A = this chain, B = another copy of it.
């Protein structure tokens, strides 16, 4: 049996959590919010990011009908274990972590025995920035959000989490846990490895050469490398917790890249142009899907 969702606790008020509070400003949810640093809790209360806070996270979790853990992956799992006894039976816990299998396993292990539901969530939203100062109201507008169900997930808990995410303007996509992790290895995680290698190939050189390269880097490099400016610890943690799926896509990219390298080496320019045409068609079709 699930309780009616009125009090939503946002734990962590950085880019993801802070933006979530802002996106809920006009909703009927009562926004509880907590961050480790008191000054961030103060900022969130003063800027209508949350409605209520308190010094002790335990008091807040006890009031929550739905809790969304907006923390780095290791902390999501740490908080679930540490505070498992704080949540009332019948309430729902969710998260925003970029990998789901390790998190959902942890959530079900510690919460199900206590009658608390765990539904994994992963909004496909973010920027290369982090922290409360990077939060903005429209972060989630039109983004897609994955929510995961397992054989242990009740339809009611799933429905509550779905409704919550629809309230902030995201499009909800239900997906099994394993399938999610393989999917985002392709659509998100690999990009960070590729962008990093590119940034290093372009800028990791002696200072004199680098100064010249600065002049040659324009909007193409700016966008292709943008996510290299993301949090190093966050991406280490994501890769650490999704290693087998990511390694598979690392090989897939390698195969594609090596083929292009061979075409260039062998001066097979007709075939190279055909690859560029295929890539353009694939991306333009995705852009059309996103903007329709």
Contacts and interface: CB of A to CB of B under 8 A. Distances in A.
Contact of A240 (B127, B215, B269): B269
B275 A229 contact: no
Interface in A193-214: 193-204, 212-214
A184 B217 CA distance: 8
Contacts of A231: 280
Interface string A169-183: 001010100000001
A191 B220 contact: yes
Contacts of A102: none
Given A232-B273, A236-B273, A224 B256 contact: no
B201 A252 contact: yes
A67 to B, nearest CB: 24
Contacts of A282: 199-200, 203-204, 228
B290 A220 contact: no
Interface residues of A, number: 92
A196 B257 CA distance: 8
Copies in the complex: 2
A280 B191 CA distance: 14
Interface stretch (A54-62, A81-89, A242-250): A242-250
Contacts of A230: 276, 280
A199 B279 contact: yes
Contacts of A265: 247, 250
Given A250-B261, A253-B201, A277-B232, A216 B183 contact: yes
A155 interface: no
B218 A283 contact: no
A235 B276 contact: yes
Nearest to A194: B198
A115 interface: no
Nearest 9 A/B pairs, CB to CB: A187-B216, A232-B276, A124-B218, A236-B273, A197-B257, A197-B256, A203-B282, A232-B277, A223-B223
22 contacts: A125-B219, A171-B215, A173-B215, A183-B216, A191-B221, A192-B220, A193-B261, A194-B224, A196-B260, A197-B253, A200-B278, A200-B282, A203-B285, A214-B290, A217-B286, A224-B227, A228-B282, A231-B280, A235-B276, A239-B264, A240-B267, A250-B264
Interface of A: 124-127, 143-144, 146, 171, 173, 175, 183-184, 186-188, 190-204, 212-233, 235-236, 239-240, 243, 246-247, 249-258, 260-261, 264-265, 267, 269, 272-280, 282-287, 289-290
